[in-house]
Structure 1
């Protein structure tokens, strides 16, 4: 009888805790996010450590779209090319001079009917208010006649992520695509205009052990310091989550040279894997730079679904967004992860484009004017934004 009473009391305590949590959210003007998964319309997907909840603007529309009228003198071909005629998507973001700077992937249409068959360059859009974005006429980062052209031509420079270091240097991670192997690469800049390319991140590691292997999506851990996100050091090292269809980890002492985390046998050790039965059953891929918080490292990641072993109603190959929590002192140690996506394709522009299955592909995160601004690619075609109030 005593054990039964204790069990009842435990249940009541848990329900009371949930009720109090919901009341606090409501009092703060925050609507708890719910998801319809496995028929449970009342399933709360918010966890105390997660960033958000994120909300789209009212009557949400793309903030950046393709524009075939803008041309650029391409140094590789010598021709004037419509460098963002096909699509603009998969954005990075950073705050500079009290303005949001969005670095987005722009594709030149090469009349090839396949994803990845076009030439990508990185453009820049700037906003003073987080609502209106003005794009630059020319790309700020692109394939050139330099020592990286063998890795970057003719596919281009893709899918940027960006962080700022303590000394104000901007660290850009991106994918080099030569039409054969996608490689995770790194570049630095003092001003987002002049760039130094450092080449593939793992080109020299163990005589190029991973240089002929697909690598991409490098997200360097950050922390909120003096009102902006900067690269965070943990026990003397910087850390970067990267890769697809699993997420791996690498470390660095100075943000330029990186060492992948391996197991005792010298193999890459995945720190986040796809999960049968969930929205991330097909693949997981690092999103924007993770954030070091009081709870640990919050990693926002992109998730692909395989409906036969995942969420049946979500569809195959649909990209949604999840969150995972890692230890603040052992970045390879997974503590928790979201049960349902916190962002998924719902609006027409998120489900129409060259990737018709739909994507909300998160890549850019900034703290601006008291809010989180999360930038994401939609259907490999446009750029969207969602915001969350920061406590």
Structure 2
């Protein structure tokens, strides 16, 4: 279905902040330049930082030598991790995970140039615990970069998927009931969480999501929500759209992981950027439209408009 590059497009550096792992990429295209923000960890393995890499073709990236986001706040003292990025107006918004050694919190940063970032801090002051996560644990915020019904929408969470709404993209209020849950006996039976930022296609919102089963094999799927009611799940794939297959996807810091965080929609081509085995960055290419990818995944004509 998707053609995966046979080798990683980003690997750990020989030394520096990302010498142990370089993975979980967010990617945005600005003019003819592809900008990647990725999670880097050094050999001490203690603290995550966010690095930056640039490309003219979306495949061959050159890393910036220094991280663009480092732990500073108390809620992120042990790491800043797993960025997603969108552009709203003139501002770039990055959601990321801040980790203090015990609790992961969904955080937000803002930039005008993708290099210098101002931190807004943790998005939610409190959040209820559940079967998998303790109280106040939040992660994986994926923002739709256009308003629907007068509000911005964000899907988030890494056990179930929840939804939150915002007038300005900075201040968010969440709904307490999840909009998507794991499914017993499926590839997403243990947990589900948003992947790359969602995309509006016709009258629908398309979300590539990540998931794991009880064997802790991570594979992505596709979910479709109603743009008139972004909390209403219309359809989701019965099978994953990718599987860990290559040695560098199967063996790493965490084995058997494909974790999508970046999507670039070029119209007649879709680029999906993913973390592999919590160590590398991989790229999968779909030669067709996003609508056609959903149809190929088994959704038929679920996208309307």
TM-score (norm 1): 0.70
Query: Match of 2:3?
Result: 55
Question: Unmatched 5+ residue regions in structure 2?
Answer: 130-134, 290-305
Please show how residues 312-327 of structure 1 align to structure 2 within 5 Å.
316-327=215-226
Please show how residues 1-391 of structure 1 align to structure 2 within 5 Å.
33=1, 54-57=2-5, 60-69=6-15, 82-110=16-44, 118-144=46-72, 148=73, 150-153=74-77, 155-165=78-88, 167-203=89-125, 208=126, 213-221=136-144, 231-261=145-175, 268-306=176-214, 316-356=215-255, 358-368=256-266, 370-391=268-289
Q: 1: CA distance between counterparts of 2:19 and 2:4?
A: 26
Backbone CA RMSD of aligned residues:
1.5
SS in structure 2 of the partner of residue 151 of structure 1? helix
Give the conservation status (yes or no) of the 8 Å contact 1:109–1:119: no
Q: Select the structure that is richer in helix.
A: 1
Q: Select the structure that is richer in strand.
A: 2
Give the conservation status (yes or no) of the 8 Å contact 1:159–1:217: yes
SS in structure 2 of the partner of residue 232 of structure 1? strand
Q: 2: CA distance between counterparts of 1:303 and 1:345?
A: 13
Q: CA deviation at 1:370?
A: 4.4
Q: 2: CA distance between counterparts of 1:232 and 1:135?
A: 29
Q: CA deviation at 1:125?
A: 1.1
Query: 1:190-235 deviations in whole A, cap 9, x for unaligned?
Result: 00112110000012xxxx46695100000001xxxxxxxxx11000
Give the conservation status (yes or no) of the 8 Å contact 2:96–2:139: yes
TM-score (norm 2): 0.90
Q: 2: CA distance between counterparts of 1:131 and 1:377?
A: 14
Give the conservation status (yes or no) of the 8 Å contact 2:35–2:52: yes
Aligned residues: 284
SS in structure 2 of the partner of residue 303 of structure 1? strand
Q: Hey, which bits of structure 1, 4+ residues long, moved more than 4 A?
A: 208-212
Query: 1:39-72 deviations in whole A, cap 9, x for unaligned?
Result: xxxxxxxxxxxxxxx2213xx1101111132xxx
Q: CA deviation at 1:98?
A: 1.4
Q: CA deviation at 1:109?
A: 2.2
- Of residues 94-103 and 317-326 in structure 1, the stretch that sits farther from structure 2 once superposed is 94-103
Q: 2: CA distance between counterparts of 1:194 and 1:136?
A: 13
Q: CA deviation at 1:295?
A: 4.7
SS in structure 2 of the partner of residue 331 of structure 1? strand
